[in-house]
Homo-oligomer: A and B are copies of this chain.
Amino acid sequence: MEFGKNNTPFSEEEFAARLARAKDAMRREGFEALLVCDPANMCYLTGYDGWSFYVHQAVLVALDLPAPMWIGRNQDVNGARLTTILKDDDILGYADDHVQSLVKHPMQAMAAIIRERGLERARIGVEADCYYYTARSDAVLKAELPQAEIVDAGILVNWLRCVKSEAEIALMFQAAAITERIVEAALEVMADGVRQCDVAAVIQATGTRGIPGEGGYGGDYPAIVPLMPNGVGTSCPHITWRDEPFRAGTGTTIEIAGVRHRYHVPMSRTVFLGTPPTKMLAAAAIMAEGIEAALAAARPGATAHDVWAAWNDTIERHGIVKESRCGYSIGLNYPPDWGERTLSIRKGDETVLEPNMTLHFMPGLWMDDWGMEISEPIRISSEGAETFCHFSRELFIR
């Protein structure tokens, strides 16, 4: 990595196209400026990549400014110079006494920059439900810019990320190769008596090493840690590993993602140590049938709702009723979520599928005291659904 070089995996032309699409969306929605605080959106528009999102930071896009501006903590300015495609003049820091301070707030510094750029009366979009644009961020910004119109822009930039470029798809196939290695490695070490944390360690190390050797490449950190609830824990999708060993006669759901340059390809599988109960074998067969039906329905022109309906019709025929969504858009992301927060595969989501949309079809069943997850990351191709991975959808028995 060198200062002044494009250290991102994308061409400057690709960034220019992203910015043009962002400005088009801003014009359509009537925004003169957009304050982007979602780290994935910041990365999408500038290349910025660092674990600095625990302090307030933003990318400012204005219709009248040729390039986006990165604004963050002084000590992260060098990181922005190293990882973004921006010129040094478009990277601005604020003093460290704003950080987690009881008297100052970083949005005061951001407002000052917005004023200096002559945008103090502008209609400015903010990402109001983004984790990194807090209620206080909004209050301070509005107090500092009383003549501006600060408006919830929702997930305007997230929507731009929905259809991937060929360069993004290529990264996701690289991530998918890591995904498969992770699940293979986990299945290899899971056994009666092995501590849950030891399997989590193998999962993390495999994902971070990525593909070793000639032609290989490293893995990046996932936006969610490995989830691998065991036994009664499989009824709870989001609890993390424990010290306790896996025991014969219990099931485990593994949800992980291979990641390449922040692009995620998640996958879930279920393992049973010993002889699984009939209900789990039956559930696995129903899920396999439901996944086939959903993937057959996932094609350009169909809606997210149609994919959900194909899945839901299958499981309902077998007497299973499931309330939760069964998938979502995936790609570039940062903690705490690898989902893009745009389309969900659920009842009533009328988003029309297009080629190069990428989805995690994730039909979990979480029952009273057991659960099962078998999922499939897919790309919408010109004809239908292409799976990123090629991995058996069986209930694994060890």
Contact = CB atoms under 8 A, between A and B. Distances in A.
From DSSP, what is the main secondary structure of chain A's interface residues? loop
A241 B218 contact: yes
Nearest to A154: B102
A237 to B, nearest CB: 6
B201 A209 contact: yes
Interface stretch (A14-22, A111-119, A122-130, A381-389): A122-130
Most central of A3, A51, A131, A335 by chain B CB within 10 Å = A51
A381 to B, nearest CB: 25
A75 B135 contact: no
Contact of A197 (B95, B138, B201, B218): B218
Given A78-B235, A209-B198, A220-B240, A134 B139 contact: no
Contacts of A101: 344
A interface, how many residues as a size bin?
Answer: 35 or more
A54 B242 contact: no
Nearest to A325: B96
B219 A197 contact: yes
A237 B325 contact: no
Given A131-B132, A134-B129, A241-B208, A76 B236 contact: yes
Nearest to A203: B208
A240 B221 contact: yes
A100 B349 CA distance: 11
A49 B198 contact: no
Given A75-B366, A129-B136, A208 B218 contact: no
B221 A195 contact: no
Contacts of A197: 208-210, 218-219
Contacts of A201: 204-206, 208-209
B128 A136 contact: yes
Interface in A369-388: 369
A126 B366 CA distance: 31
Contacts of A96: 323-325, 346
Contact of A128 (B135, B236, B337): B135
Contacts of A31: none
A362 to B, nearest CB: 12
Nearest to A138: B135
A351 to B, nearest CB: 9
The 9 closest A-B pairs by CB, nearest first: A197-B218, A79-B236, A135-B138, A54-B337, A129-B136, A96-B324, A205-B205, A201-B208, A218-B243
Interface of A: 1-3, 49-54, 74-76, 78-79, 82-83, 95-97, 99-102, 105, 126, 128-139, 152, 154, 195-198, 200-202, 204-206, 208-210, 212, 217-221, 224-225, 227, 231-233, 235-244, 323-325, 328, 335-337, 339, 341, 344, 346-348, 364, 366, 368-369
16 contacts: A1-B231, A1-B244, A50-B238, A75-B237, A76-B236, A76-B237, A78-B368, A79-B236, A96-B346, A97-B323, A97-B347, A105-B129, A135-B135, A136-B152, A138-B138, A210-B243
